[in-house]
């Protein structure tokens, strides 16, 4: 399922993930929850794809499934690493910082101790930690410094793809800027490819070259950064963008979301998952699943899963 | 001008720890008018939540008010008895918290938890309180309130739970509602709905709102005035529009600039975000006579490290003050 084209660090086609549930449905089949439904994406080397969505949208599941699948390819494991959201629980409290960074190299079978030490020294410097901090334990670091250790750990096997799972959500705003700047400079320095998962559209706009908006297991919209932020087309993308509190005073009046029930993903979906909350929904939206297709009139790559694509496309920049 | 609803003057809070006394809040002053919305902004540990807890008489056991006054409608809450504070809490001053699940009791229905406040503070009988609870659930826009009143907290979504917390907090139509990061645990579309709800109900009931947050966007949407806090002190205060347009304190300026705010101008692309270097100082240094931001500040000089800057007015703005030896002047 996951492969690598010449220009792509990762290509995922038709990825679905289901969790088994207790009980059986009417036909006697095991019930299951379809957390990720037929998602495809590719990330060009050295670039960043952002997956945005609210809690429960499946964005983390999709990324982790893509990573696992890539890891299933022989020797691929060391090529994909993850930076986690919580710098407190994602570091082993009983290991010294240098050993935390060393671990992935051991798993990858790089047993030359001198070589490991060289990589550790190099990465401590690259992420802005001092050499004497190598022998400290995680609790002796601040949250931002811990996230730096997590980043050094992710880099130690020289991965070609790093999944950043809400890497700054648990940090104070001033520290967030430091970590985001670090991730960007490391990307240039080591030619890294990021799959960047976030609920924060401001962060995604800053970090990503391409954006995918996910809702209830499906990609709703997928586009190059500039095309997306200049003219988001999907009603859900617009609702998300409008909901972000901005320091620019001018509010954009758009129809409010409908307070509808969220679909039950343990049942087969017959229509658009967003229809129950969409201010523009029409009967077709409940009866036919919209497919991701090229948006009309967009500059560059811009795909959209919405039956109303043509109606709202022209007024997109509003 | 008439006396404000709430006037906090030179409020100090100290913690008694194994290593001795540490200052947590240092000379915090502000006023709040009836129906006004103010925001406390700053990073974790800056004292914004501690200020709120001091107002509520809910300081942790190791903490005590070490100076100053909290004048609420002619009464000093800093010296009020616990019995008196119990009458005020949830009745005249209410608070909602970040995590609505841990603030609600999981074994009682939401209707009972709303009714309890009304029975306690307003002496309503059970039936009247229940009917009023349904009204309140409708007011916070819970669909089908008459049926949902018998739900338990786990049957509600995160956003609905926060609505229930708001219903409880507003049940007695308090004069002040303190909202401590009320939407941090919620999705952004839900956050927008909660903010709209707080604005509407605050205006309707003439409840003054204190919003505690680290998010300048939230401040811009919700508050008329803001108080920027750093290391237990007020570093800048003024009208939200004035401060966002021309922040005078280097820390405020950094807080606004370091966040990648969403922009409709997609061509605008920053390679690097402006950083505030370093981290917040350890709490043991909070009481020192110096500008505590100086070690992280690009404008710091000798005086900043040796003397505490007093709040002073900012030219050209009414009620805009800054505690800084080298404030920024004029526009951004």
For the stretch A179-219, pLDDT in tens is 999 999 999 999 999 999 999 999 999 999 999 999 999 99
Average pLDDT over residues B309-331: 89
Cβ-defined contact of A229 to B215 (cutoff 8 Å): no
Nearest residue of B to residue A187, measured between CA atoms = B271
Confidence category of residue B271, pLDDT binned at 50, 70, 90: confident
Q: What is the pLDDT of residues B238-267, one digit of tens each?
A: 999 999 999 999 999 999 999 988 877 766
Confidence category of residue A87, pLDDT binned at 50, 70, 90: confident
Which of A181, A207, A243 is opposite residue B189, by nearest beta carbon? A243
Testing the interface with B: which of A174, A178, A216, A226 to mutate, by most B Cβ within 10 A?
Answer: A174
Nearest residue of A to residue B196, measured between CA atoms = A243
DSSP B128-142: HHHHHHHHHHHHTT-
For A257, the 3-state DSSP assignment is: coil
Phi, psi (rounded to 5 degrees) for B234: -85, 120
Which of A54, A178, A202 is opposite residue B189, by nearest beta carbon? A54
Cβ-defined contact of B189 to A240 (cutoff 8 Å): yes
Testing the interface with A: which of B179, B244, B259, B282 to mutate, by most A Cβ within 10 A?
Answer: B259
Q: Is pLDDT above 50 for B145?
A: yes
Contacts of A180 (CB under 8 A, 6+ apart): A168, A203, A206, A207, B260, B273
Give the pLDDT score at A302: 94
Within 223-242 of A, beta carbons closer than 8 Å to B belong to 225-230, 239-242
Which residues pair with residue A242 across a beta bridge?
A: none
Q: Where in chain A is the domain with CATH 3.40.50.300?
A: 2-208
Give the pLDDT score at B266: 60
Phi, psi (rounded to 5 degrees) for A231: -150, 75
Q: Is pLDDT above 60 for A250?
A: no
Residues of chain A contacting residue B141, judged by C-beta atoms under 8 Å apart: 259
Residues of chain B contacting residue A198, judged by C-beta atoms under 8 Å apart: none
Give the pLDDT score at A249: 60
Which residues pair with residue A279 across a beta bridge?
A: none
Give the pLDDT score at A70: 65
Q: To which residue do tokens 């799959």 refer?
A: A195
Query: Among A258-272, B51-65, B130-144, B295-309, where is mean pLDDT lowest?
Result: A258-272
Position with higher pLDDT, B261 vs B233: B233
d(CA A79, CA A88) in angstroms, rounded, equals: 24
Q: Is pLDDT above 60 for A252?
A: no
Within 101-130 of A, beta carbons closer than 8 Å to B belong to none
Question: Token digits for A188?
Answer: 């240039």
> Nearest-CA neighbor of B213 among B196, B193, B191?
B191
**Complete domains list, chain B, with CATH:** 6-89+224-322 (3.40.50.300)
Q: Is pLDDT above 60 for A75?
A: no
Which of B188, B220, B273 is opposite residue A206, by nearest beta carbon? B273
What contacts 24+ positions apart, CB below 8 Å, involve B276-281? Answer: B276/A174, B276/A177, B276/B251, B279/A142, B279/A144, B279/A174, B279/A175, B280/A172, B280/B43, B280/B44, B280/B45, B280/B46, B280/B230, B280/B231, B281/B231
Nearest residue of B to residue A168, measured between CA atoms = B259
Q: Is pLDDT above 90 for B100?
A: no
Residues of chain B contacting residue A223, judged by C-beta atoms under 8 Å apart: none
What contacts 24+ positions apart, CB below 8 Å, involve B26-30? Answer: B26/B231, B26/B232, B26/B233, B26/B286, B26/B287, B27/B67, B27/B68, B27/B233, B27/B234, B28/B68, B28/B229, B28/B232, B28/B233, B28/B234, B29/B68, B29/B234, B29/B311, B30/B227, B30/B234, B30/B237
Q: What is the pLDDT of residues A34-44, one digit of tens each?
A: 899 999 999 99
The top-scoring range by mean pLDDT among A74-83, A155-164, A304-313 is: A155-164
Query: Among A126-135, A270-279, B99-108, B157-166, where is mean pLDDT lowest?
Result: B99-108
d(CA B108, CA B161) in angstroms, rounded, equals: 13
Distance from CA of B94 to the nearest CA of A (A): 24
Q: What is the pLDDT of residues A218-227, one digit of tens each?
A: 999 999 999 9
Give the pLDDT score at A5: 55
Average pLDDT over residues B73-98: 94
Q: Is pLDDT above 80 for A6?
A: no
Q: Is pLDDT above 50 for A317?
A: no
User: What is the CB-side half-sphere exposure of residue B281 using CA atoms within 13 A?
Assistant: 20
Residues of chain A contacting residue B275, judged by C-beta atoms under 8 Å apart: 174, 177-178, 181
d(CA B40, CA B104) in angstroms, rounded, equals: 24
Confidence category of residue A314, pLDDT binned at 50, 70, 90: very low
Which of B187, B192, B264 is opposite residue A199, by nearest beta carbon? B187
d(CA B327, CA A284) in angstroms, rounded, equals: 59
Nearest residue of B to residue A54, measured between CA atoms = B187
Nearest residue of A to residue B267, measured between CA atoms = A226
Beta strand pairing call for B321-322 and A161-165: unpaired
Write the DSSP symbol of residue B314.
Answer: P
For B27, the 3-state DSSP assignment is: strand
Residues of chain A contacting residue B267, judged by C-beta atoms under 8 Å apart: 226
Q: Does A186 touch chain B (CB under 8 A)?
A: no
Give the pLDDT score at A259: 72
Q: Could you tell me if A134 and A98 are in contact, meaning their C-beta atoms sit under 8 angstroms apart?
A: yes
Q: To which residue do tokens 């800093």 refer?
A: B78
Residues of chain B contacting residue A244, judged by C-beta atoms under 8 Å apart: 188, 217, 262
For B280, the 3-state DSSP assignment is: coil
Question: Token digits for B262?
Answer: 């969403």
Q: Output the CA torsion sign for A49, A44, A291, A64.
A: negative
Average pLDDT over residues A153-168: 93
d(CA B186, CA B158) in angstroms, rounded, equals: 7
What contacts 24+ positions apart, CB below 8 Å, involve A86-93? Answer: A86/A170, A87/A143, A87/A144, A87/A146, A87/A147, A87/A149, A87/A150, A87/A170, A87/A171, A88/A138, A88/A143, A88/A146, A88/A170, A90/A150, A91/A138, A91/A146, A91/A149, A91/A150, A92/A138, A93/A137, A93/A138, A93/A139
Give the pLDDT score at B250: 96
Percent of chain B residues past pLDDT 90, beyond the cut: 77
d(CA B56, CA B63) in angstroms, rounded, equals: 13
Cβ-defined contact of B244 to A247 (cutoff 8 Å): yes
d(CA B304, CA B290) in angstroms, rounded, equals: 6
* H-helix segments, chain B: 48-56, 82-88, 100-103, 110-122, 126-139, 145-148, 158-170, 188-205, 216-222, 240-245, 250-257, 302-306
Which of B143, B241, B254 is opposite residue A259, by nearest beta carbon? B143
Distance from CA of B225 to the nearest CA of A (A): 14
The contact set of B with A (CB < 8 A) is 43-44, 141, 143, 187-189, 191-192, 195, 214-218, 220-222, 241, 244, 254-256, 258-264, 266-267, 270-276, 279-280
Q: Does A247 touch chain B (CB under 8 A)?
A: yes
d(CA A249, CA B60) in angstroms, rounded, equals: 38
Which of B270, B275, B280 is opposite residue A206, by nearest beta carbon? B270
Give one word for A158, left, alpha or beta, with left for phi > 0 and alpha for psi -120 to 50: left
Residues of chain B contacting residue A299, judged by C-beta atoms under 8 Å apart: none
Q: Could you tell me if B168 and B149 are in contact, meaning their C-beta atoms sit under 8 angstroms apart?
A: no
Instruction: Measure Cα distances from B264 to A66, A72, A182 in Å.
Output: 31, 40, 25
Position with higher pLDDT, B189 vs A127: A127
Give the pLDDT score at A2: 45
Confidence category of residue A316, pLDDT binned at 50, 70, 90: very low
Confidence category of residue B283, pLDDT binned at 50, 70, 90: confident
Give the pLDDT score at A1: 41
Give the pLDDT score at A109: 85
Average pLDDT over residues B87-109: 90
Query: Among A97-106, B50-59, B278-287, where is mean pLDDT lowest?
Result: B278-287
Question: Token digits for A284?
Answer: 């077709």
Q: Tell me if the domain spanning A2-208 has CATH number 3.40.309.10.
A: no
Cβ-defined contact of B262 to A202 (cutoff 8 Å): yes
d(CA B162, CA B164) in angstroms, rounded, equals: 5
Query: Among A9-18, A293-302, B51-60, B304-313, where is mean pLDDT lowest?
Result: A293-302
Question: Token digits for A15?
Answer: 């990825």
Cβ-defined contact of B266 to A178 (cutoff 8 Å): no
Give the pLDDT score at A77: 58
Q: Could you tell me if A199 and A55 are in contact, meaning their C-beta atoms sit under 8 angstroms apart?
A: yes
Nearest residue of A to residue B260, measured between CA atoms = A202
Q: Could you tell me if A285 and A272 are in contact, meaning their C-beta atoms sit under 8 angstroms apart?
A: yes
d(CA B194, CA B141) in angstroms, rounded, equals: 10
Give the pLDDT score at B322: 97
């Amino acid at each position: 399922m996951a492969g690598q084209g010449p220009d792509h660090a990762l290509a995922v086609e038709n990825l679905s993930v289901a969790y088994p549930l207790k009980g059986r449905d009417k036909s006697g089949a095991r019930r299951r929850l379809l957390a990720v439904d037929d998602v495809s994406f590719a990330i060009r080397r050295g670039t960043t794809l952002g997956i945005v969505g609210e809690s429960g949208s499946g964005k983390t599941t999709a990324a982790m499934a893509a990573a696992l699948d890539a890891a299933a390819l022989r020797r691929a494991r060391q090529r994909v690493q993850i930076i986690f959201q919580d710098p407190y629980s994602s570091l082993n409290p009983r290991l010294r910082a240098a050993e935390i960074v060393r671990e992935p190299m051991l798993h990858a079978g790089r047993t030359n101790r001198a070589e490991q030490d060289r990589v550790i020294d190099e990465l401590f410097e690259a992420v802005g930690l001092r050499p004497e901090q190598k022998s400290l334990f995680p609790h002796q670091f601040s949250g931002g410094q811990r996230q730096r250790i997590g980043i050094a750990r992710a880099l130690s096997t020289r991965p070609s793809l790093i999944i950043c799972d809400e890497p700054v959500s648990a940090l104070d705003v001033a520290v967030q800027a430091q970590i985001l700047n670090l991730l960007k400079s490391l990307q240039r320095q080591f030619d890294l490819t990021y799959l960047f998962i976030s609920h924060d559209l401001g962060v995604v706009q800053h970090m990503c070259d391409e954006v995918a908006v996910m809702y209830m297991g499906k990609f709703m919209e997928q586009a190059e950064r500039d095309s997306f932020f200049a003219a988001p087309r999907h009603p859900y993308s617009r609702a998300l963008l409008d909901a972000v509190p901005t320091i620019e005073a001018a509010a954009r009046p758009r129809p409010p979301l409908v307070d509808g029930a969220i679909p039950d993903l343990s049942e087969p979906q017959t229509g658009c998952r967003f229809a129950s909350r969409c201010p523009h929904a029409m009967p077709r939206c409940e009866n036919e699943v919209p497919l991701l297709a090229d948006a009309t009139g967009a500059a560059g790559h811009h795909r959209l899963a919405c039956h109303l694509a043509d109606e709202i496309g022209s007024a997109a920049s509003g | 001008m008439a006396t404000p609803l709430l006037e906090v003057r030179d409020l100090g809070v100290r913690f008694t720890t194994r290593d001795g006394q540490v200052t947590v809040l240092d000379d915090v002053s502000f006023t709040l008018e009836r129906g006004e919305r103010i925001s406390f902004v700053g990073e974790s540990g800056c004292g914004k939540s501690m200020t709120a807890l001091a107002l509520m008489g809910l300081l942790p056991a190791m903490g005590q008010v070490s100076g100053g006054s909290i004048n609420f409608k002619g009464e000093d809450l800093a010296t009020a008895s616990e019995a008196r504070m119990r009458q005020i809490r949830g009745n005249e001053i209410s608070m909602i918290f970040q995590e609505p699940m841990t603030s609600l009791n999981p074994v009682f229905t939401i209707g009972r938890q709303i009714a309890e406040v009304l029975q306690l503070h307003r002496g309503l009988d059970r039936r009247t309180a229940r009917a009023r609870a349904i009204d309140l659930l409708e007011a916070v826009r819970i669909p089908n309130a008459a049926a949902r009143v018998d739900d338990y907290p786990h049957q509600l979504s995160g956003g609905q739970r926060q609505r229930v917390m708001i219903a409880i907090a507003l049940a007695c139509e308090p004069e002040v509602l303190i909202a401590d990061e009320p939407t941090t645990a919620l999705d952004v579309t839900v956050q927008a709905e909660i903010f709209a709800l707080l604005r509407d109900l605050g205006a309707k009931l003439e409840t003054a709102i204190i919003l505690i947050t680290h998010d300048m966007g939230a401040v811009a949407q919700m508050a008329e005035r803001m108080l920027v806090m750093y290391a237990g002190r007020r570093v800048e205060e003024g009208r939200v529009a004035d401060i966002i347009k021309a922040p005078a304190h280097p820390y405020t300026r950094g807080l606004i600039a370091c966040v990648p705010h969403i922009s409709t101008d997609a061509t605008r692309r920053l390679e690097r975000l402006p950083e505030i270097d370093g981290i917040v100082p350890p709490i043991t240094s909070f009481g020192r006579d110096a500008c505590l931001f100086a070690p992280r500040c690009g404008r710091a000089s000798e005086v900043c490290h040796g003397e505490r800057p007093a709040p002073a007015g900012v030219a050209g703005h009414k009620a805009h003050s800054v505690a800084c030896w080298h404030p920024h002047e004029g526009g951004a």
